[in-house]
Copies of this chain bind each other. A is one copy, B any other.
Amino acid sequence: MKRKTFGPVTSQQVAQIAGVSQSAVSRTFTPGASISPATREKVLKAARELGYRPNAIARSLNTARSRIVGVVMSYFDNQFYPQVLEALAQKLDELNYHLLLFVGDRDGNVDRIFDQIMQYRVDGIVLASVSLSIELSEECLAAGIPVVLFNRSEENGVASSVNTDNEAAARQIAAFLLAGEHKRFAYIAGLSDSSVNQARQNGFVNLLKQKGIEDIRVVQGDYDAKITARAASKLFSSPQPPDAIFAANDHMALTVMDVARYEFGLRIPEDVSVIGYDDTGPSGWPSYALTSASQPVDEMVSATIALLMKQIESESIEPEQVVVPGVLVVRHSARRPRSGVVEKDGLSLFQPQEVE
């Protein structure tokens, strides 16, 4: 029983049919507003008849709350990010927030996107795998718009962030490979200006150096499959190819495995061990069975949303850096050490007595 009016139904039209004021209609759809059950019923009935839905855009205009969170994301071919996106959308939805999606430019230039986001007067921003210039960070801070860097951090403490302990996890990976008696180490780096890459590289290299390993080969994979494949080829064709490779993320690690096996006929882990970071979908597939440092998507997303909500509520934003605990999930892509691997909830984890 819908009226064929032009355009969507307005609260005014509902009011007329219900025989009440437009204010009454508005109150009916505002949780907590003072409205008598009788009036409410009349309004709901009329609304149902007309197929009325409150206009969220109009509401936003005078509440100064859009209930929209802007999300900038890149690397959709890396399973980790779609999983994050799905979790973000779902959890925001539960809180009756909505997600406006932007794809980060390849050159990492957020400025143009940033302008778009701001025009929609979003209540908060999540930057996944993207960094933000200090100027823009400060602008958000001044404008009272919370920004959370997801899987990236920023040194000046101007922006909030959610990460795992990249450096500690990378040290653990180094310790794991050492315990597995590997001799020749290589690191496949992500984009060198990415904070997580820096932390992972530092953790890995520093622990090895500390243990007396000086010759660590670092090659750039830049989070890109093709660049990674070339880098891996180069490593494997060198006179002394590595027997232990840590790639800055799973996506690159999988590429390294494919190159090792299908271009060089190497066996994994007999000839070379490969470890990644993210513990995302394909890493658990039997064809790869990648040993990987986990980034728990749900916990990271929950932390992100908790931060966002807290900052949306409060008047002044206190930037906060959250570190979510992860584990080293041991599968079959890397030789296992004699000890230190424990079973837990159906997974094998590396938990040596003492980690430095």
A binding-site residues for B, Cβ under 8 Å: 2, 4, 7-8, 51, 53-58, 60-61, 64, 66, 68, 71, 76-77, 79, 81-83, 85-86, 89-90, 93, 98-103, 113, 115-116, 118-121, 139, 142-144, 254, 257-258, 261-262, 281-282, 285-288
Is there contact, CB below 8 Å, between B281 and A258? no
| CB neighbours of A83 from chain B (8 A) | 76-77
Query: CA of A287 to CA of B77 in the docked complex: distance in angstroms?
Result: 17
| CB neighbours of A57 from chain B (8 A) | 57, 60-61, 66, 120-121
Closest CB of chain B to A61's CB: distance in Å? 6
Which of B58, B116, B258 sits near A287, CB closer than 8 Å? B258
> Can you list 12 A-B contacts (CB < 8 A)?
A8-B121, A8-B143, A55-B61, A57-B57, A57-B60, A61-B61, A79-B79, A93-B113, A98-B100, A98-B116, A254-B285, A287-B288
| CB neighbours of A258 from chain B (8 A) | 285-287
3 closest A-B pairs by beta carbon, nearest first, are A82-B82, A262-B286, A76-B86
Query: CA of A103 to CA of B83 in the docked complex: distance in angstroms?
Result: 11
One complex includes copies of this chain to the number of 2
| CB neighbours of A90 from chain B (8 A) | 103
Is there contact, CB below 8 Å, between A76 and B66? no
Is there contact, CB below 8 Å, between B77 and A115? no
| CB neighbours of A58 from chain B (8 A) | 61
Query: CA of A229 to CA of B308 in the docked complex: distance in angstroms?
Result: 39
Is there contact, CB below 8 Å, between B98 and A54? no
A255's closest neighbor in chain B, by CB? B285
Query: CA of A53 to CA of B101 in the docked complex: distance in angstroms?
Result: 19
Closest CB of chain B to A260's CB: distance in Å? 10
| CB neighbours of A56 from chain B (8 A) | 119-121
Is there contact, CB below 8 Å, between B93 and A85? no
Closest CB of chain B to A126's CB: distance in Å? 12
Query: Given A115-B53, A258-B285: A98 and B120 within 8 A (CB)?
Result: yes
| CB neighbours of A281 from chain B (8 A) | 77
Query: Given A53-B118, A66-B57, A98-B116: A139 and B103 within 8 A (CB)?
Result: no
Which of B76, B119, B282 sits near A55, CB closer than 8 Å? B119
Closest CB of chain B to A286's CB: distance in Å? 4
Query: Given A85-B76, A101-B85: A119 and B64 within 8 A (CB)?
Result: no
| CB neighbours of A61 from chain B (8 A) | 55, 57-58, 61
Closest CB of chain B to A107's CB: distance in Å? 14
Name which of A85, A119, A254 has the most chain B CB atoms within 10 A of its CB. A119
Name which of A76, A79, A98, A262 has the most chain B CB atoms within 10 A of its CB. A76
Is there contact, CB below 8 Å, between B98 and A99? no
Name which of A101, A139, A144 has the most chain B CB atoms within 10 A of its CB. A101
Query: CA of A144 to CA of B7 in the docked complex: distance in angstroms?
Result: 8
A6's closest neighbor in chain B, by CB? B144
| CB neighbours of A121 from chain B (8 A) | 8, 55-57
Closest CB of chain B to A255's CB: distance in Å? 8
